[in-house]
């Protein structure tokens, strides 16, 4: 399965954070690579979305729709620069 870029999760991130997050910069908790969320690799065939670091391929974000909200796990992606 081919991954999408981080823009594929713009809607759920907007719902969770209340602002545009794809331009936010963070650091991979596995390899230390800094990148914007838009640069990450997104796989959407699971019950939620699995987001992997573009450099090392490890899982950095998991989004699961749990109505009425989206559950977001960012434990392996440390946000360092919120969007402007």
pLDDT, tens only, 58-73? 999 999 988 888 899 9
Residue bearing tokens 């946000």: 79
pLDDT value of position 31: 98
Strand positions, DSSP E, the chain: 4-5, 25-28, 34-36, 41-43, 49-52, 59-66, 69-73, 77-81
Prediction pTM value? 0.91
* Distance of alpha carbon 29 from alpha carbon 38, whole angstroms: 17
Q: Is 10 in a helix, a strand, or coil? A: helix
pLDDT value of position 73: 95
Residues of the chain with pLDDT under 50: none
pLDDT value of position 83: 79
């Amino acid at each position: 399965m081919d991954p999408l870029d981080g823009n594929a999760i713009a809607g759920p991130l907007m719902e969770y954070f209340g602002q545009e997050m794809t331009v936010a910069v963070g650091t991979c908790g596995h390899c230390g690579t800094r990148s914007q969320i838009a640069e990450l690799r997104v796989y959407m065939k699971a019950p939620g979305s699995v987001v992997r670091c573009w450099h090392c391929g490890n899982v950095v974000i998991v989004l699961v729709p749990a109505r009425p909200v989206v559950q977001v796990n960012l434990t392996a992606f440390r946000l360092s620069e919120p969007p402007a």
